[in-house]
Structure 1
Amino acid sequence: MSHARDPGADHQPVRPSRSRGAGARASVRRRAGAQMAAGAPALPVLVVAGVVSADLAGGTGMVWLPLLAAGPALAATTNGPRGVLCVGLLAAVLGVTLGMRDGVPGGELAVTLSALAAVTLASGLASALRGRRERVLAAVRSVAETAQHALLRPVPSTVGPFQAAVRYSAAAAEARIGGDLYALIPTPHGVRLIVGDVRGKGLPAVGTAALVLGVFREAAHDEADLLAVVDRIERSLARNLGHDDFVTALVAGYPRAGHLEVVNCGHAPPLLVRASGSITAVEPVHPAPPLGLRALTGHTPGLQALPFGDGDQLLLYTDGVTEARDAGRAFYPLAEGLKRHVSHEPAHTLGALHDELLAHVGGRLHDDAALLLIRKPAAHLAEAEEVPAESPGESDLGPAAATPVPEATRCS
């Protein structure tokens, strides 16, 4: 590198070439050394060294040679077949040396070395099979992660006029999706979002979550009325769910500036954070059953209108958050945690809430948990009001948006 920057190097063309060649060889040696160090069976070698030390310290009165087989057996759990064979070879050489030193009879030494060779070969086979299973598992995980990302798509930091952030934890080990679902998408009818909780948890509920998200993404673009979006999801679930299955969900839309619509289908009430800092739970004015159970109750959901202005925030969540318990069986106080950590950056707010939630339960959640936070920043208020009246975001709102909402359905 120093020759490449030296202006005088152009007058000595051979020396830089030698330097580059030496540097390349040194780089290759460093990489090879790093690979050897990374794959070196350090712990098995230490075990073999410990057996040798014990034999040397114990003198000729006690023979420790059979314990040398622990080296290749342990190497099978951490290294590949080559590492196992290397440890086995090292143990065999040291075993012969110690056997001759201790005066072990030839027949007994042969039996010990034969057992060591058998353990080494069996450990090498086990290591090869373990490596194969790990490669298959890595491939399966790659496919699963791709499917999970396609289902629960990452939410950008800005969606339409909102800042947004999501935190999701699946109860199933090694999973990134479970029975909780969320989506936040811009549509011709404004930004629309959903947070839901499928009955059950973990991987068995993934199919239902995928069904709900698929119908929501399609209907959110097609239907101008938010209640029509919910009706499409209800009809789809009625055709595909069992009698005991259901989905609690909260669907929201932002059809025009300062106007937020909410439809609550048996879900936990969202928390509304005003620009002044006050936090209130948006309880449903017209309670409705979870999605998939409407035919059993006959109740239909109602549309609830909220003024949502500059600096306001809305936190949607699932019961995996509010029902998380600590060692004393106390629930996590979400509203209090939000009050402590609320900020102008949704990602920072949810990051602090998620960390506090994990600390509350001792590091691992036992139910799927989702948090979705949107915030209306001041910088976008004027832009939202400048949208032409004939734009798709306002011209296709439908009767529900055009008709004034009665005061009984408003929440401040």
Structure 2
Amino acid sequence: MVKAKKAATDVQRRSWLRGAPPPRWVRILPVLLLVGVGVASLTDSVPLDIGFLLGAVPPLAVLAYGPLATALLGAATIGMLTIPFFNLDRPGNTDLVTLGFVATLSVFVSFVRGRRDEQLDLERTVAETAQRAIVPDVRRRVGPVRCASLYRAAERGTLVGGDFFDVRTGPHGVRAVLGDVQGHGLSAVATVASVLGAFREAVLDDVDAEAIAARLDRRLVVDSARTEHAELFATAVLLDFTPQGREVRVLACGHPPPILLRGGAVSTLELDPGPPLGLGLADVMSGTAATVALLGEDRLLLASDGVLEARDASGAFYPFAERLTRMTGVGLDQLPDEIWADLSGFAPKIQDDVTLLILTLDDSAPE
């Protein structure tokens, strides 16, 4: 979702039983069975009672072929069973009628499957387009800020879950946000859309991170009021890059603070966090934004709970900062994939959305 490459990876993760095209061995199997039975019947001097295996060819063809190819394979099966040259069991009329019925039924099932596959492909395309509209790709450069990101939704087959992030430029500089709404999966998509919409408006209007947090807080409070017992809330980290200079103001709203990678050192920023968004407290106790001076190669790494709360088989939490010390030499564009590979190896089952956003200032980037 975050990059085209990531979307392609997600498509490849789907098994063929979940909508992906069938693998090559599934397409070869009915042809291989047909040829194998024919060759076995010709190479053995004693007739073999293996004609019954041909009855599996049309149903196997349904898994990978359209109606025409399924009909041709069914006709080839009946032909091989009846041609005396192959000497396959000398089938009676009942056997031929049964096989003919199976072949005809397979053609019909193949036709229905093809129509449903077309409809599912259309629905999947529409769903992916809608989800990408909610959380579009983050550009590699946003003003003077270079960006790298990764997103893995917890709910299989979706591109958007309960995590959200964005990097935008406006009249007051580059702003970034990463957060996590209540819940995950499809049920949280509407809340993610609402929060990101409010953030994109705030980038154009609000002058600092505190004002942006107050706007997001009000948005969630209003949304909660529309639905009884909704209780919508979200945690977030807001970054406000100064238009000039190498400073960034960081405000945490119930979310773990970013991690600073400086040379070979890894440290967690010390912040005075405010409450989560959506509780109606942003105007009262919004927390204090900390100003961080960034050096030439400094990188700020923001992560969601799916990273910080992942556990191994023994129940131990993923030691994120400790693991990052081994990756300080990895390039910005490669770092998200490196972290994902390490996290996947550490935690056998990741049950929450995984989101990473890595930002660094680049003075050579066009404004």
Pairwise same-fold verdict (TM > 0.5): yes
User: Residue 282 in 1 paired to residue 269 in 2?
Assistant: yes
How many pairs are equivalent?
338
After TM superposition, the structure 1 stretch with the greater mean CA deviation from structure 2, 191-200 or 257-266, is 257-266
Q: Is the 8 A contact 2:179 2:234 kept in 1?
A: yes
Q: Which residue of 2 aligns with 1:245?
A: 232
Q: Which residue of 2 aligns with 1:7?
A: none
Q: Which residue of 2 aligns with 1:48?
A: 34
User: Following TM superposition, by how much is the alpha carbon of 1:80 offset from its aligned partner in structure 2, in angstroms?
Assistant: 0.8
Give the aligned residue type for 2:251. V
| Counterparts in 2 of 1:298 and 1:187: CA distance versus 1, 3 Å | closer
Give the aligned residue type for 1:201. H
Q: 2:166 aligns with which of 175, 183, 204?
A: 183
| Counterparts in 2 of 1:100 and 1:278: CA distance versus 1, 3 Å | closer
Q: 1:332 aligns with which of 295, 300, 318?
A: 318
Structure with the larger helix share = 1
RMSD over aligned Cα atoms: 2.7
Q: Which residue of 2 aligns with 1:159?
A: 142
Q: 2:352 aligns with which of 351, 367, 380?
A: 367
Give the aligned residue type for 1:371. L
Q: Is the 8 A contact 1:163 1:377 kept in 2?
A: yes
Deviations 1:54-110 (A, max 9, x none): 6564945x6433332111111011111111111111111111125994674xxx611
- Between the aligned partners of 2:260 and 2:86, the Cα distance in structure 1 is 81
Q: 1:206 aligns with which of 189, 195, 207?
A: 189
Q: Is the 8 A contact 1:324 1:365 kept in 2?
A: yes
| Counterparts in 2 of 1:270 and 1:66: CA distance versus 1, 3 Å | same
- Between the aligned partners of 1:55 and 1:335, the Cα distance in structure 2 is 65
- Between the aligned partners of 2:136 and 2:213, the Cα distance in structure 1 is 20
After the TM superposition, which residues 239-388 of structure 1 pair with which residues of structure 2 at under 5 Å, given as runs? 239-241=222-224, 242-255=229-242, 256-274=244-262, 276-285=263-272, 287-295=273-281, 299-343=285-329, 345-362=331-348, 365-377=350-362, 379=364
User: Following TM superposition, by how much is the alpha carbon of 1:294 offset from its aligned partner in structure 2, in angstroms?
Assistant: 3.5
User: Following TM superposition, by how much is the alpha carbon of 1:41 offset from its aligned partner in structure 2, in angstroms?
Assistant: 5.1
Q: Is the 8 A contact 2:49 2:89 kept in 1?
A: no
Q: Is the 8 A contact 1:96 1:109 kept in 2?
A: no
TM-score between the two structures when normalised by the length of structure 1: 0.75
Deviations 1:381-406 (A, max 9, x none): xx99xxxxxxxxxxxxxxxxxxxxxx
| Counterparts in 2 of 1:294 and 1:284: CA distance versus 1, 3 Å | farther
Q: Is the 8 A contact 1:315 1:371 kept in 2?
A: yes
Deviations 1:337-394 (A, max 9, x none): 32221247321222211222222234x63211110011123646xx99xxxxxxxxxx
After TM superposition, the structure 1 stretch with the greater mean CA deviation from structure 2, 347-356 or 293-302, is 293-302
- Between the aligned partners of 2:174 and 2:330, the Cα distance in structure 1 is 20
Gaps of at least 5 residues in structure 2 are: 1-23
- Between the aligned partners of 1:297 and 1:186, the Cα distance in structure 2 is 24
| Counterparts in 2 of 1:41 and 1:89: CA distance versus 1, 3 Å | farther
Which structure would you say has the larger Rg?
1
Seq. identity, %: 35
| Counterparts in 2 of 1:279 and 1:296: CA distance versus 1, 3 Å | closer
What's the secondary structure of 1:45's corresponding residue?
Answer: helix
- Between the aligned partners of 1:149 and 1:41, the Cα distance in structure 2 is 33
| Counterparts in 2 of 1:297 and 1:325: CA distance versus 1, 3 Å | farther
Give the aligned residue type for 2:206. E
Q: 1:85 aligns with which of 47, 66, 71?
A: 71
TM-score between the two structures when normalised by the length of structure 2: 0.84
